[in-house]
Structure 1
Amino acid sequence: MDVEERTSKDMSLTLNLEQGQEKGTKNDDYGLASAHTIDHDSWQQVGLLLVTSFNCGWILSFSNLIMWPLGWTWGIICLIVVGLYTAYANWLLAAFQFIDERRFIRYRDLMGFVFGNSMYHITWAFQFLTLLLGNMGFILLGGKALKAINSEFSDSPLRLQYFIIMTGAAYFFYSFFIPTMSAMKNWLGPSALVTLTYIIFLLIVLVKDGRSNSNRDFDISGSEVSKVFNAFGAISAIIVCNTSGLLPEIQSTLRKPAVKNMRKALYLQYTVGAVLYYGVTVMGYWAYGSVVSAYLPENLSGPKWINVHINLIVFLQSIVSQQMFVAPIHEALDTKFLETDKAMHSGENLKRLFLLRACFFAGNTFVAAAFPFMGDFVNFLGSFSLVPLTFLFPSMVFIKVKGKTARIEKKAWHWFNIVFSLLLTIATTISAVRLIVNNIQKYHFFSDA
Structure 2
Amino acid sequence: MLLCLTDSWQQVGLLLVTSFNCAYVLSFSNLMLAPLGWYWGLACLIIVAAFAAYANWLLAGFHVIGDRRFIRYRDLMGYLFGKRMYYVTWFLQFATLLLGSMGFILLGGRALKEINSEFSDSPMRLQVYIVATGVVYLVFAYFVPTISSMRNWLISSAILTVIYDAAILAIVIKDGNTNKAKDYNIAGNKAEKALNAFGAMAAILVCNTSGILPEIQSTVRKPVAANMRKALVMQYTIGLAIYYGISIAGYWAYGASVSEYLPEELSGPTWAKVLINSTAFLQSIMSQHMFVAPIHEALDTKFQRLNEGMFSKYNLICRFFVRSIFFGLNILVTALFPFMGDFVNLFGSFTLFPLTFVFPSMIFLKIKGNAARTEQKLWHMAIIVFSSLMSIITTAAAVRLIISNTKMYHFFADT
Shorter-chain TM-score: what band? over 0.9
Shift of 1:36: 2.6
Structure 2: how far apart are the matches of 1:136 and 1:304? Answer: 28
Amino acid paired to 1:361: F
Structure 1: how far apart are the matches of 2:182 and 2:336? Answer: 34
Structure 1: how far apart are the matches of 2:154 and 2:367? Answer: 36
Q: Residue 444 in 1 paired to residue 405 in 2? A: no
**Equivalent residue number for residue 229 of structure 1:** 195
Q: Residue 161 in 1 paired to residue 135 in 2? A: no
**Equivalent residue number for residue 88 of structure 1:** 54
**Equivalent residue number for residue 345 of structure 1:** 311
**Equivalent residue number for residue 417 of structure 1:** 383
**Equivalent residue number for residue 355 of structure 2:** 389
Structure 1: how far apart are the matches of 2:331 and 2:276? Answer: 23
Query: Retained in 1: the 8 A contact 2:2–2:218?
Result: no
Structure 2: how far apart are the matches of 1:61 and 1:439? Answer: 19
Amino acid paired to 1:163: Y
Q: Residue 427 in 1 paired to residue 393 in 2? A: yes
Q: Select 1:218's aligned residue among 184, 195, 202.
A: 184
Q: Give the secondary-structure state (helix, strand or coil) at the position aligned to 1:392.
A: helix
Q: Select 2:97's aligned residue among 123, 131, 134.
A: 131
Shift of 1:336: 1.4
Q: Select 1:65's aligned residue among 10, 31, 34.
A: 31
Structure 1: how far apart are the matches of 2:10 and 2:245? Answer: 23
Structure 2: how far apart are the matches of 1:362 and 1:408? Answer: 51
The residue correspondences of 1:288-307 to structure 2 (distance < 5 A) are 288-307=254-273
**Equivalent residue number for residue 205 of structure 1:** 171
**Equivalent residue number for residue 360 of structure 1:** 326
Shift of 1:389: 0.2
Shift of 1:408: 1.0
The residue correspondences of 1:242-391 to structure 2 (distance < 5 A) are 242-391=208-357
Amino acid paired to 2:336: A
Amino acid paired to 1:162: V
Structure 1: how far apart are the matches of 2:20 and 2:108? Answer: 15
Q: Give the secondary-structure state (helix, strand or coil) at the position aligned to 1:96.
A: coil
Q: Select 1:189's aligned residue among 147, 150, 155.
A: 155
Identical positions, percent: 61
Amino acid paired to 1:384: F
- Normalised to the residue count of structure 2, the TM-score between the two structures is 0.99
Structure 2: how far apart are the matches of 1:314 and 1:111? Answer: 35
Query: Retained in 1: the 8 A contact 2:26–2:262?
Result: yes
- Normalised to the residue count of structure 1, the TM-score between the two structures is 0.92
Structure 2: how far apart are the matches of 1:321 and 1:303? Answer: 27
Structure 2: how far apart are the matches of 1:392 and 1:321? Answer: 26
Q: Which runs of 5+ in 1 are unaligned?
A: 1-34
Query: Retained in 2: the 8 A contact 1:60–1:294?
Result: no
RMSD, matched Cα:
0.8
Structure 2: how far apart are the matches of 1:444 and 1:312? Answer: 28
Amino acid paired to 1:369: A
Amino acid paired to 2:45: L
Query: Retained in 2: the 8 A contact 1:37–1:180?
Result: no
Structure 2: how far apart are the matches of 1:165 and 1:307? Answer: 22
Amino acid paired to 1:194: L
**Equivalent residue number for residue 76 of structure 2:** 110
Shift of 1:443: 1.3
Count of aligned residue pairs for this structure pair: 415
Q: Select 1:48's aligned residue among 14, 34, 50.
A: 14
Structure 2: how far apart are the matches of 1:277 and 1:111? Answer: 31
Amino acid paired to 1:256: K
Partner deviation per Cα, 1:414-442 (whole Å, 9 max, x = no partner): 01101111111111011101111101111
Q: Which runs of 5+ in 2 are unaligned?
A: none
Shift of 1:60: 3.6
**Equivalent residue number for residue 26 of structure 1:** none
Structure 2: how far apart are the matches of 1:188 and 1:245? Answer: 21
**Equivalent residue number for residue 106 of structure 2:** 140
Amino acid paired to 1:352: C
Partner deviation per Cα, 1:1-40 (whole Å, 9 max, x = no partner): xxxxxxxxxxxxxxxxxxxxxxxxxxxxxxxxxx234222
Query: Retained in 1: the 8 A contact 2:58–2:360?
Result: yes
Q: Give the secondary-structure state (helix, strand or coil) at the position aligned to 1:57.
A: coil
Structure 2: how far apart are the matches of 1:335 and 1:325? Answer: 17
Shift of 1:49: 0.3
Deviant stretches of 4+, over 4 Å: none
- Bigger relative CO (Cα 8 Å, ≥ 6 apart): 2
Amino acid paired to 1:386: L
Structure 2: how far apart are the matches of 1:334 and 1:108? Answer: 17
Q: Give the secondary-structure state (helix, strand or coil) at the position aligned to 1:343.
A: coil
Shift of 1:85: 0.4
Partner deviation per Cα, 1:307-335 (whole Å, 9 max, x = no partner): 11100100000001100000000010111
Structure 1: how far apart are the matches of 2:295 and 2:353? Answer: 20
* Worse overlay, 51-60 or 162-171: 51-60
Query: Retained in 2: the 8 A contact 1:147–1:157?
Result: yes
Structure 1: how far apart are the matches of 2:103 and 2:33? Answer: 20
